Structure 1
Amino acid sequence: MISLLAKRRFGAARVAARVNEAENAWLFDQEWGVDVAVPAATLLISLIEEATGATETVALLRLSKAGVEVMETAITEDPRAAGRRLGEIVLPPGTVVATVVRDGRPTVPRPEVRLLPGDELLLVSHAATEQEIHAAFQ
């Protein structure tokens, strides 16, 4: 209904709707004012939330068969992580740093790597939440 209102009442030129339940996807069509239906499970939603500044830590991918989640976090100016060596950061149990991306280039996450503001870390975990990862680095 919100999509239909946006289209008809407020004249939205293009309406994208998030589909939370896959079995309801058939409802999200032009007849209901939806131009683009985006499944909630897609990586796109996480990327949009990250780009809008919703959080510095975001889950990127869940690998259900492997039982792990891939998350990204950014190092801010906060002294909790900035300037510290990766080996000094206490990670939640079952979590490893897959790479440190600096200036658009991934590097091997050695313990002696000093974290700098702007660094982005990709982490893999089977148990940690986004909040726990955020707390470790922010």
Structure 2
Amino acid sequence: MAARLVAGDACEPSLLEHAGALAADLVVAVTGADEGNLVISLLAKRRFSVPRVTARVNEADNTWLFDSHWGVDVVVPIAAPLISLIEEATEATDTVALLRLSKAGVAVIETAITSQSRASGRTLGEMRLPEGTIVATVVRNGQPTVPDPSVLLRPGDELLLVSHSATEQEIHAAFQ
């Protein structure tokens, strides 16, 4: 399985189609806007018949919307607990599995770039990711960014990766 990065508005059906939604086994909607995540989920499930759709809820009051009616199979917890989990976990290690979505067969793994990391000073496009792994976002100064291949990784960056096969150790080896 190969992962492709396509930058743009994933709420546009043509972009999802260009990104390969017609052949996708899984779509993960992790934008910073609940409306966007719901639209992406609904398009993935209904228009492209993607078997598994995972979506992040950003606002706790919107959690009730993230269900099968909107095409969501697995809900990723709201940002505040996820950020707390990241902060807690990264005090002990630089790479950690944050969430295992057993029904979807994927894990969400976080790794932090330090000045000693092999990835520091390299672009995302230069990194060799383990098979079946994509970068969902790069968090810099508390702000998530689109994981474009030209993004230069710097100490302090936190990467959230989604993988159906890589282990924490493989992610660690790729970036640290």
Alignment of 1:1-138 (within 5 A): 47=86, 50-51=89-90, 53-78=91-116, 80-138=118-176
Per-residue CA deviation, residues 15-67 of structure 1 (Å, 9 max, x unaligned), is xxxxxxxxxxxxxxxxxxxxxxxxxxxx7xx657625x321001011111110
One-letter amino acid of the counterpart of residue 86, structure 1: L
Inter-partner Cα distance in structure 1 for 2:86 and 2:162: 17
Gaps of 5+ in 1: 1-42
SS at match of 1:80: coil
One-letter amino acid of the counterpart of residue 95, structure 2: T
User: Which of 1 and 2 has greater Rg?
Assistant: 1
Computed over aligned residues only, the root mean square deviation of the Cα atoms, in angstroms, reads 2.2
One-letter amino acid of the counterpart of residue 164, structure 2: H
Per-residue CA deviation, residues 55-108 of structure 1 (Å, 9 max, x unaligned), is 100101111111000010000102511010001000000000000000000000
| Aligned residue-pair number | 96
Inter-partner Cα distance in structure 1 for 2:86 and 2:138: 18
Q: Is 2:113–2:153's contact at 8 Å kept on the other side of the alignment? A: yes
